[in-house]
Amino acid sequence: MYPPVVLAAKLMFKVLDNRLRVDGTEHIPRTGGAVIACNHVSYLDFIFCGLGAQPAKRLVRFMAKREIFANRIAGPLMRGMRHISVDRSAGKASYDEAVERLRGGEVVGVFPEATISRSFTVKPVKSGAVRMAADAGVPVVPMAVWGTQRLWTKGRPRTLTKRHVPILIRAGEPFRPGAGDDPEERSADLRRRMQALLDGLQAEYPERPASADDRWWLPAHLGGTAPTPEEAAALDS
Residue (of 42, 56, 48, 58) closest to 3 by Cα position: 58
Res 95 pLDDT > 80 = yes
Reported pTM: 0.96
Q: Where along the chain do its domains lie?
A: 29-211
**What CA–CA distance (Å, rounded) separates 7 from 9?**
5
Provide mean pLDDT across the span 220-230.
98
Confidence (pLDDT) at 13:
84
Please write the tens of the pLDDT for every residue from 151-184: 999 999 999 899 999 999 999 999 999 999 999 9
DSSP states along 155-197: TS---TT--S-EEEEEE---B---TTS-HHHHHHHHHHHHHHH
**What CA–CA distance (Å, rounded) separates 53 from 9?**
14
Please write the tens of the pLDDT for every residue from 97-147: 999 999 999 999 999 999 999 999 999 999 999 999 999 999 999 999 999
Confidence (pLDDT) at 80:
95
Sheet holding 60-65, edge to edge: 19-23, 166-171, 140-146, 34-38, 107-110, 60-65, 84-86
Confidence (pLDDT) at 9:
87
Residue (of 201, 214, 187, 159) closest to 43 by Cα position: 159
Confidence (pLDDT) at 50:
96
> Of how many residues is the chain composed?
237
Please write the tens of the pLDDT for every residue from 35-71: 999 999 999 999 999 999 999 999 999 999 999 999 9
Confidence (pLDDT) at 134:
98
Confidence (pLDDT) at 73:
86
Confidence (pLDDT) at 219:
98
**What CA–CA distance (Å, rounded) separates 46 from 197?**
17
Confidence (pLDDT) at 112:
98
As a whole-number percent, the residues of the chain with pLDDT over 70 amount to: 100
Confidence (pLDDT) at 36:
98
Q: Do 108 and 94 contact (CB within 8 A), yes or no?
A: no
Res 90 pLDDT > 80 = no
Please write the tens of the pLDDT for every residue from 182-205: 999 999 999 999 999 999 999 999
**9-36 burial, b for 16+ CB within 10 Å, e for fewer?**
beeebeeeebebebebbebbbeeebbbb
